[in-house]
Amino acid sequence: MKTIDKKYVSVHYSKYLQLDKILSAQHLRSVEIGKPAHDEMLFIIVHQVYELWFKQINYELYSIIDDLNVPFVPEEKLLHIVQRQERIIEILKLAVQQIHLLETMTPLDFLEFRNLLLPASGFQSFQFREFEVLLGLREGDRLTYKSDTRYLSEFNPEQQAHLEKLESEGHTLFDAIERWLERTPFLQTESFSFVEHYRKAANAMFDEEIANIRSCETLSPEQKQQRIGMLETTRTYIEQVLDPHHYEQLRQKKIMRLSYKAVIAALFIHLYREEPLLQLPYRLLSRLMDIDELLTLWRYRHAQMVLRMIGRKVGTGGSSGYDYLVQTVQHNQVFADFHNLATMLIPRSQVPPLPNAVKRKLGFHYFNGDDVED
């Protein structure tokens, strides 16, 4: 009797997608008590879809973190990482759009079955908390809705241990990115110091801007002084970031989170992003900011939807509802350091040229000329 290779056995669409399980997973509590609320079906399906998207996002994040947690990340891996980041970005765009769909339900429609949800809440979504932790949101940095209760308390012991392990062992995207950036070469050679080259260019930019302000005839002396003072404040901030000792003080104050080496490397990548070897690293850092922005947008739209649906009522999970949610919008960001780099950017025309030896190493081909550092 001929043996059939299992991988070639045909499969039915419904069986492959397990549609019998998925389509039978909507149980309307309003129907169970004999008071059907039409929009409860929409509410259930939208949140089930969210959980499926969270599962896909976390699947991508585990893959990205594993690819970064190696001593050397080859270029082809960087491309895969960026592609998976872009997939997460598209999913988050859908997550925002789903709020528009949910808002086709009116507040009165929602109130028909809201009391049946108690004490269920989005706070009990393990996959969303896993998503936050995988990104790098630390327990000590997160805004909690119950000051005397850990966010982990909503989950079973196994789930709690898993989330704690991710954070304690540094198996997060933030930690992986930080370690990857710290390995960036090219920042210091015998004849080239990126920090010193950048410092000179930044100071030249500030001196030029201050000179332009002083020569401006349309500004009053008070306005000139105010603008110059703002520029000097920014100059001081940049000097603090460039100095390892002062930078560590910024970290202690939680103004910055990345290590000194990592933030200097990120600045280098941003300024010289057009160099062939830095194009993918720049895209990778940019996609991190996109993910952070979209998650922030989702939090904001979610808060606004809650305000629209229940006003200032207490949430079903016991939080203050809208007030708590809107505070998480900026408080629970993970990659703010990369956004802060914009403060340190200088015009492209004023970016100091790289020595030929460094530029040659950042290219995909050999330059003509001597292989001598200059």
Q: Is the pLDDT of residue 366 over 60?
A: no
Mean pLDDT value of segment 339-349: 94
* Tens digit of each residue's pLDDT (9 = 90 or more) over 106-138: 999 999 999 999 888 888 999 999 999 999 999
Q: Which pLDDT score, from 0 to 100, does residue 314 have?
A: 63
Residues 211, 255: one domain? no
Domain with 148 in it: what CATH number?
1.20.58.480
Q: Six-digit token pair at 149?
A: 């209760």
pLDDT band at 372 (very low <50, low <70, confident <90, very high): very low
Q: Which pLDDT score, from 0 to 100, does residue 190 have?
A: 81
Q: Is 312 helix (H, G, I), strand (E, B) or coil?
A: coil
pLDDT band at 147 (very low <50, low <70, confident <90, very high): low
* Tens digit of each residue's pLDDT (9 = 90 or more) over 282-325: 999 999 999 999 999 999 999 999 888 888 766 555 555 788 88
Residues 231, 282: one domain? no
Does 80 map to a domain?
A: yes
Does 309 map to a domain?
A: yes
As a whole number, the mean pLDDT across the chain is: 91
Residues 56, 168: one domain? yes
Residues 105, 223: one domain? no
Q: Which structural domain, as residue segments, surrounds residue 219?
A: 194-240
Does 344 map to a domain?
A: yes
- Beta-carbon contacts of residue 133 (< 8 Å; ≥ 6 apart): 163, 166, 167, 172
Q: Is the pLDDT of residue 1 over 70?
A: no
Question: CA of 152: how far to CAs of 24, 155, 159, 172, in Å?
Answer: 30, 6, 8, 17
Does 212 map to a domain?
A: yes
Which residue would you say has higher pLDDT here, 135 or 363?
Answer: 135
Q: What is the 3-state secondary structure (H, E, C) of 91-143?
A: HHHHHHHHHHHHCCCCHHHHHCCHHHHCCCCHHHCHHHHHHHHHHCCCCCCCC
What's the DSSP call for residue 80?
H
- Contact by Cβ (8 Å): 261, 251: no
Give bridge partners of residue 188 from the DSSP assignment: 193
From the list 189, 209, 199, the residue with the least C-alpha distance to 240 is: 199
Q: Is the pLDDT of residue 145 over 80?
A: no
Residues 63, 139: one domain? yes
Residues 160, 272: one domain? yes
Residues 88, 155: one domain? yes
Does 13 map to a domain?
A: no
Q: Six-digit token pair at 168?
A: 């304690």
Q: Is the pLDDT of residue 239 over 90?
A: yes
Q: Which pLDDT score, from 0 to 100, does residue 296 have?
A: 95
> How many Cα atoms occupy the beta-carbon half-sphere of 171 within 13 Å?
13
* Tens digit of each residue's pLDDT (9 = 90 or more) over 162-195: 999 999 999 999 999 999 999 998 898 888 899 9
Residues 186, 262: one domain? yes
Q: Is 0.85 topped by the overall pTM? A: yes
Q: Which pLDDT score, from 0 to 100, does residue 260 have?
A: 97
pLDDT band at 367 (very low <50, low <70, confident <90, very high): very low
Residues 163, 70: one domain? yes
Does 14 map to a domain?
A: no
Does 293 map to a domain?
A: yes
Q: Which pLDDT score, from 0 to 100, does residue 374 have?
A: 47
Residues 280, 182: one domain? yes
Helix-strand-coil split of the chain, %, nearest 5: 65, 0, 35
pLDDT band at 279 (very low <50, low <70, confident <90, very high): very high
Name the percent of the chain lying above pLDDT 70. 92
Count of domains for the chain: 2
